[in-house]
Amino acid sequence: MIEAYFPIFVLFIFALITPVVMLLIPKIVAKREPTPIKDAAYECGIPAEGDARERFPIKFYLIAILFLLFDLEAVFLYPWAYIYKKLGLFGLIEMGVFITILLVGYIYVIKKGALKWQ
């Protein structure tokens, strides 16, 4: 059975090798003669100011963690969908309780405006 997934393994290996090779080739082949102007973020236009690594607002984090939590919720749906037919009504009630509890969290998210970008 696992043999059927061999192509995925091959894909994994290729996915690994491709970027490594792509990064290595310019290192070997390309000529490098850096000048301060070449190293600047933009070679023309307004001169760069300050650090590129600015602190991110916490809003990004909030979105990320909410995505993670609802992603985890969705993960439970896969095995449930797999045996849904066997569980029947019982399974529906189980998942109903689960989703209802999380729905409270969703109402909280909406009402607090956590998804609004302002």
Partner 1 sequence: MYMAIFILFAIMSIAGAIMVITLKSPVSSAIALIFVLCCIAGLFALMGALFMAALQVIVYAGAIMVLFLFIIMLLNLKDEILGEDEKKVTRVFGSILGIAFLLEIGFFVRRALTVGSESLMYPVPEQFASIEVISTGLFTKFLFAFEITSVLLLVAIIGAIMLSKGEGKTEY
Partner 2 sequence: MIEIPFINLAVIYPEIAIFTASVIVLLVDLFMKGEKQGTLSTITMLGFAAAAIIASRQWFHFETGFSDALIADNFALVFKLLFCAAGVLTLFLSVHYLNREKIFRGEYFFLILSSTVGMMILASANELITAFLGLEVMSVPLYLLAGYDKKKLLSNEAALKYFLMGAFASGILIYGIAFVYGNLGTTNFDEIYRALQGKTLYGEPLLLLGLGLILIGFSFKTAFVPFHSWVPDVYVGTPTPATAFFSIAPKAAGFAILFRLLFKAFAPMMPDITGILWVLAVLTMFAGNLIAIAQRNIKRMLAYSSIAHAGYILIALTTGTADGAKAAILYLLAYTAMNVGAFGIVILLGREGEKDLSIAGYSGLSRRHPIAAAAMALFMFSLAGIPPTAGFIGKFYIFRGAVSAGFIWLAILGVVNSLISVYYYLRVIVIMYMKPEAESDRVITYPLSLMVAIILAAWGTVQIGIFPNSWLNLVRDSVSGFF
As a whole number of angstroms, the distance between CA 102 and CA 73 comes to 8
**Judged by CB, which is closer to partner 1: 45, or 79?**
79
Contacts of 74 (CB under 8 A, 6+ apart): none
**Judged by CB, which is closer to partner 1: 11, or 41?**
11
What is the per-residue binding string for partner 2 in 44-83, x denoting contact by CB under 8 A?
---------------------------------------x
Q: Does 104 bind partner 1 (CB under 8 A)?
A: yes
Tokens of 45: 């236009």
**Residue for token pair 């491709």:** 18
Q: Residue 41 in contact with residue 99, Cβ under 8 Å? A: no
Chain CA centroid to CA 44, Å = 33
Q: Does 88 bind partner 2 (CB under 8 A)?
A: yes
Q: Residues 27, 32, 53, 112: which binds partner 2 (CB under 8 A)?
A: 112
List of residues contacting partner 2 (CB under 8 A): 83, 86-88, 90, 101, 104, 107-108, 111-112
